[in-house]
């Protein structure tokens, strides 16, 4: 049975009375890629469901009236709990694979795999974005007839394809310039490997579900080697202080928030006063990249910062806005970050995401266990943390080698030093 989500602002009709009327719904995450919204009108409210469909896009549909004035009847008037059930059912209906006749293709395998990921509460966002690199070349291929040579040829082609730029639907796909230096080649091969991983995962799922008799063809395809070696860029404490001092006041707040939490820019930009729990010193990240809700623990320094940001604001107000009082939007951080780096004489310039790396790197170097770092960053396990920051840990490699390496008891020389004695 799915556990119901609680929200003190929307749970009951009395709680919803305190919300100001507005056109934009008040949203609450109830599942990965699914939000239940309450649109408050002048005479009452309605429940809506917001579904994530990939590519940073959402679809919103009306569910029913809220039980603000009329008693819930389970159909046209719903309680908060009933609205959650209806939204989940709509999501299940939306993502249910449609049976089809004919050969089972790579596209069919991808559809089934994405549906399985969503049902298991795993992030399907990356798969939906990267599958476009699979569909064009292999999407219509029958899985049972797919060969290792076809996959290798496609894999190589992906590694030689320029990085794609965000393009509006209906317009011709735009690309970034393809660099020829070793770093650019490494990056493109790393991308090709990640897409290959998605393809193999989808095909393996199809094989486990009995859609194909053998997995030997794609099992023979190997990824490019030695491509995941990029150095993580992070700031020292002194550099971080210089950067903060070089920021404009509005941007300074969100930069400090990133340094105190390791949270992503988009996560920070959406934080409201209600997401800050001053009693226990935590932040609730409701819409993360993984789709999971997480709680970020703050230091005393962090509690003080967010206490100042929340002071005098209503619970629904954003913790951080730009100088005009508007939300920090997509890419709004790029120019202020570049300007602050220039003013602070930080070279090479670091991107906003580098503040996340800074928090993680400094935390690991201070001895924080990798499992704790992973939890704070929103990772389900330590693999990514070990990959990017493990070498910085005081105990990750050095202590393990010193504790477990063999001892041979061999002296540096076979000459035994003589001790002087009094005659």
Beta bridge partners of 47: 38, 64
- Which sequence spans correspond to the domains of the chain? 13-95, 106-219, 237-402
Q: Which residue numbers in the chain have pLDDT < 50? A: 121-122
Query: Residue 90 has what pLDDT?
Result: 87
Burial of 23 (0-12, 13-18, 19+ CB in 10 A): exposed
Q: Which fold has domain 13-95?
A: Double Stranded RNA Binding Domain (3.30.160)
**237-402 has the same fold as 13-95:** no
Query: Residue 169 has what pLDDT?
Result: 62
Give the contacts of 298 (CB within 8 A, at least 6 positions apart): 260, 261, 281, 282, 283, 306
Q: Which CATH architecture has domain 237-402?
A: Orthogonal Bundle (1.10)
State the number of CA atoms in the 13 A half-sphere of 101 facing the CB: 0
Rounded Cα gap, residues 217 and 194, in angstroms:
18
Rounded Cα gap, residues 270 and 297, in angstroms:
17
Query: Residue 275 has what pLDDT?
Result: 93
Closest CA to 273 of 325, 308, 318, 328: 318
The pTM of this model reads 0.54
Pairing between strand 164-165 and 26-31? unpaired
Rounded Cα gap, residues 17 and 34, in angstroms:
24
Residue with tokens 């599958």: 131
Query: Residue 178 has what pLDDT?
Result: 65
Rounded Cα gap, residues 341 and 243, in angstroms:
6
Question: Is residue 33 a contact partner of residue 15, using CB atoms and an 8 Å limit?
Answer: no
Task: Name the DSSP class of 250.
Answer: H
CA dihedral 259, 380, 1, 45 (to 10 degrees): 30
Query: Residue 121 has what pLDDT?
Result: 47
């Amino acid at each position: 049975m799915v556990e119901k989500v609680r929200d003190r602002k929307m749970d009951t009709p009395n709680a919803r009375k305190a919300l100001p009327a507005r056109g934009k719904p008040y949203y609450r995450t109830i599942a990965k890629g699914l939000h239940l919204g309450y649109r408050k009108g002048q005479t009452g409210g309605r429940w809506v469901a917001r579904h994530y469909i990939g590519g940073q896009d959402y679809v919103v549909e009306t569910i029913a009236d809220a039980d603000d004035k009329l008693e819930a009847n389970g159909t046209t008037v719903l309680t908060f709990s009933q609205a959650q059930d209806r939204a989940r059912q709509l999501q299940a209906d939306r993502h249910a694979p449609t049976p089809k006749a004919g050969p089972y293709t790579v596209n069919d395998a991808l559809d089934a795999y994405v549906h399985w990921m969503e049902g298991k509460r795993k992030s399907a966002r990356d798969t939906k974005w990267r599958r476009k690199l699979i569909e064009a070349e292999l999407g219509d291929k029958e899985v049972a007839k797919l060969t290792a040579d076809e996959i290798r040829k496609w894999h190589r082609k992906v590694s030689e394809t320029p990085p794609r730029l965000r393009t509006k639907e209906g317009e011709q796909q735009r690309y970034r310039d393809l660099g020829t230096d070793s770093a650019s080649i490494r990056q493109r091969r790393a991308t090709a490997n990640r897409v290959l991983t998605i393809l193999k995962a989808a095909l393996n799922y199809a094989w486990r579900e009995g859609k194909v008799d053998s997995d030997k063809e794609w099992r023979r395809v190997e990824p490019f080697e030695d491509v995941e070696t990029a150095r993580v860029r992070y700031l020292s404490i002194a550099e971080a202080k210089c950067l903060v001092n070089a920021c404009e006041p509005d941007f300074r707040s969100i930069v400090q928030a990133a340094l105190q939490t390791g949270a992503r820019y988009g996560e920070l930009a959406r934080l409201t006063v209600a997401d800050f729990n001053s009693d226990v010193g935590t932040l609730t990240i409701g819409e993360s990249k993984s789709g999971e809700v997480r709680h970020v623990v703050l230091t005393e320094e962090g509690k003080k910062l967010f206490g100042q940001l929340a002071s005098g604001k209503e619970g629904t107000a954003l913790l951080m806005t730009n100088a005009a009082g508007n939300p920090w939007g997509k890419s709004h951080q790029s120019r202020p970050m570049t300007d602050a780096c220039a003013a602070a004489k930080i070279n090479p310039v670091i991107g906003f995401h580098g503040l996340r790396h800074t928090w993680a790197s400094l935390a690991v170097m201070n001895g924080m266990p990798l499992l704790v770092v992973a939890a704070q960053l929103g990772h389900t396990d330590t693999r990514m943390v070990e990959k990017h920051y493990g070498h910085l840990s005081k105990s990750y490699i050095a202590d393990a080698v010193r504790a477990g390496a063999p001892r041979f008891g061999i002296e540096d020389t076979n000459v035994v030093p003589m001790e002087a004695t009094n005659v």
